Structure 1
Amino acid sequence: MSGWEVRPSDPRRAGRVRLLLLLLLLAVPAAFYAGIWWQLRATQQIEVQYQPMQERLIALEQELDQLSQRLIVASSGEKVAQQANEQSRLTIKLLEEQIFKQQQDLASYRGVLAPASRREGLRIRAFELQATDRPQHFRYKILLSRVGKDDKPIEGRLVVKVEGRQDGKAVSLELAALTQNLPDQFSGQVIPFSFKHFQAIPEAGRFAELKLPDGYIAHQIRVRAEIKGEKPLERTFKWIDQE
């Protein structure tokens, strides 16, 4: 009979094919659930590993807050007395050094515990500002850190400007110009930096001084960090109440 073709039938071969197809269909969801289980297990191991660091980080933040409060009280006492005796000066110096050490530890822990999704690199942590008993004189400190595990020094420069008004007009002043003839004055218009994990300006957690021109009312500080080959990083900080 034309148009018909006789093919031998092999039930065992057909059974093996069906078995292979069944195993293939089962393997897909099995691999999916195995991947989920492995990810959950890895996450749990990471949480167990980093738990002591998280606890230490919380403790450091609490200690830093207490030290900052003590420094504020000590500085206020110095202002009320109008003069600092040797004991109060040493107390303030010790508190500033302790705060600097705590901030270094915090920067290190935050760098290790930072989620992988966060952008690594430079951070402008703070521009700390304190009033003094002298008009238009202020104490300041800049804190920089980095996120990530890279031990290669990060180098760049800071451009810091104080923005405010004088005689009713908006005026921007370079920080370097406000430090002339004062301790820790800057020789140039920019502030160079180079560090691995943390840096305070000035060094060792000390405060430097700046003096605003007479009649100048400051509103904010603009800090711009420039690193060769990277997009500049910029932050603004509100000026403290001068009253």
Structure 2
Amino acid sequence: MSEQNAVAQSHSSLITHQPVGAERLSNLRIALVHDWLNQLGGAENVLEELVALFPGAPLYTSIYAADRMPPAYRQWDIRTTFMQWIPGVAAHHQAYLPVYPFAFGATDLSNYDIVISNKSGFCHGVQTARGRRKALHVCYCLTPTRYLWLFDYYREREQLGGAVSAILQPVLALLRQWDWAAAHRVDHFIAISTTVQQRVKSIYSRESVVIHPPVNTTFFTPDPHNRQGDYFLIVGRLIPYKRIDLAVQAFNQLPHEKLVIVGSGRDLAALRAQA
């Protein structure tokens, strides 16, 4: 089998849920791409599955804070950008949004056969073509970049003033242009849900197939003793777009019900005050 045919068939496996054959992929150079590695969430759960599917594939990302991530990540071949050396970036990565296009745009992966980006931010902007070299780029899209396309929602949630919003508007316009162009360099999109599929279509004018992320179903095995608590539970990162504040507002109107929230994040103090 030629290398070109092997690339095409391996991509078919990704799209159609067929098992990824080790023999088919053994001669292919595969790279994984992730936005940032400084926090744990659903995107990182997906990333762990990709690493398990493609063991040994290097992982390119903007920043990596080893002290904030699971120890197992230290066994991975993680390759960062120049952003790794920006002081304080791991704690405040959102403040550097205009820098990510430069970081990923300078990441040349054209020497690989297949590039798989796990995208909710800017990592789909890596370079996969240079001269006669061209990698097949498959983007597993968790969502089009929220900060760019849902800015009005974020402005309200982050309580940004009019002056700050006015300053950001021209920057956001440029970032949207870059984001849209980067999306059109991707060869194939995979969406995690029909909702994301619709967003990819409406925002990027790109078609995609849906492959839902894996779920550890054994974690949700019913308790054989049929025990039931006297409270409702939310587990997740306490950040604005999760809208946990809506749940708190609802339970403030339900004095006889109890809500337990498990998680950490920059909304913690605000949620405590609201409760």
Structure with larger Rg: 1
- The structure with the greater share of residues assigned to strand is 1
The structure showing larger relative contact order (alpha-carbon pairs under 8 Å, at least 6 residues apart) is: 1
Q: Above 0.5 in TM-score?
A: no
TM-score, normalised to structure 1, is: 0.28
